[in-house]
Amino acid sequence: GQNIDQPTEMTATEGAIVQINCTYQTSGFNGLFWYQQHAGEAPTFLSYNVLDGLEEKGRFSSFLSRSKGYSYLLLKELQMKDSASYLCAVMDSNYQLIWGAGTKLIIKP
Amino acid sequence: GAVVSQHPSWVICKSGTSVKIECRSLDFQATTMFWYRQFPKQSLMLMATSNEGSKATYEQGVEKDKFLINHASLTLSTLTVTSAHPEDSSFYICSARDLAGELNEQFFGPGTRLTVL
């Protein structure tokens, strides 16, 4: 079956760095997405990785290793507004998104 | 990025009534739209994939006669929750794929919060 695993909840301090991991097993692979979702709102796109390596975009970076079925989202210089759920999703061979359950990130002052 | 709208943003209805939710891609054409449901503190659950001009593909366990999907144009898909019951209360989110885009990215609407009394 298809499976996406990520931690349920993480806590970090304002100004610090946090890494959210995601492992996956899917039928085919056409890219991995990270989305941010604030409570009561729809997800918003953060990043997309289809090749191995690190993609950097401002304070956020995303890494992919296809051979290991592994990705992480790195958030630097954490701000209170970064408190949200972070969803990892893999696009399978049918171009369908398979979603992880999300990681709730709590930022403390 | 591309914009997807949903209407209404929230709706409260009595048990047994039907509710229609609209999903529109505002600045791009979407041959495929997706309907998700999200219960509190849970992840997105794909309900169905809506293809313009053809029948929707429903995920296992989703009743197609209860959740009617119509994708009549390249910019509009509708989800009708028929004979709604309190257990249908949830956050319904649509997304659309921009085929002209480079990333196969799905753009999400703002969601519709449905409360069935």
pLDDT per residue, tens digit, chain B (117 aa), is 678 999 999 999 999 999 999 999 998 888 889 999 998 878 889 999 988 888 899 999 999 999 999 988 889 999 999 999 999 999 999 999 876 666 667 889 999 999 999
Which amino acid type is present at position A57?
K
Would you state the pLDDT for residue B91? 94
Residue A99: pLDDT above 80?
yes
Q: Return the beta strands (E) in chain B as ranges.
A: 4-7, 10-13, 19-25, 32-38, 45-51, 57-58, 67-73, 76-81, 90-97, 106-108, 112-116
Report how far residue A73's alpha carbon sits from residue A85's, in angstroms, rounded to the nearest whole number: 12
Lowest-pLDDT choice from A48-52, A61-65, A73-77, B41-45: B41-45
Residue B108 contacts residue B100 (beta carbons within 8 Å): no
pLDDT of residue B27: 86
Is the pLDDT at A58 greater than 70? The verdict is: yes
Give the pLDDT score at A34: 95
What radius of gyration do chain B's Cα atoms show?
Answer: 13
The reply to whether residue B103 touches residue A31, judged by beta carbons under 8 angstroms, is yes
Cα–Cα distances in angstroms (integers) from residue B112 to residues A78, B35, B103, in the given order: 30, 11, 26
**Per-residue model confidence (pLDDT) at position B29:** 86
Shortest Cα–Cα distance, A33 to chain B (Å):
8
Residue A38 has pLDDT above 70, yes or no: yes
pLDDT of residue A52: 96
Chain centroid to CA B112: how far?
9
Residue A15: band (very low, low, confident or very high) from pLDDT cuts 50, 70, 90: very high
Q: pLDDT per residue over A60-71, tens digit each?
A: 999 999 999 999
Best B50, B58, B108 member to test A by mutation, with max A CBs in 10 Å, is B108
pLDDT at A59: 96
- Nearest-angstrom CA–CA distance, B96 and B102: 14
Q: What is the pLDDT of residue A14?
A: 97
pLDDT of residue A13: 97
- pLDDT at position A1 is 74
Among B105, B109, B111, beta carbon nearest to A48:
B105
Which residue in chain A is spatially nearest to B4 when comparing CA positions? A42
Q: Which residue of A33, A42, A97 is in closest CB contact with B111? A: A42
Question: How far is B1 from chain A, CA to nearest CA, in Å?
Answer: 9
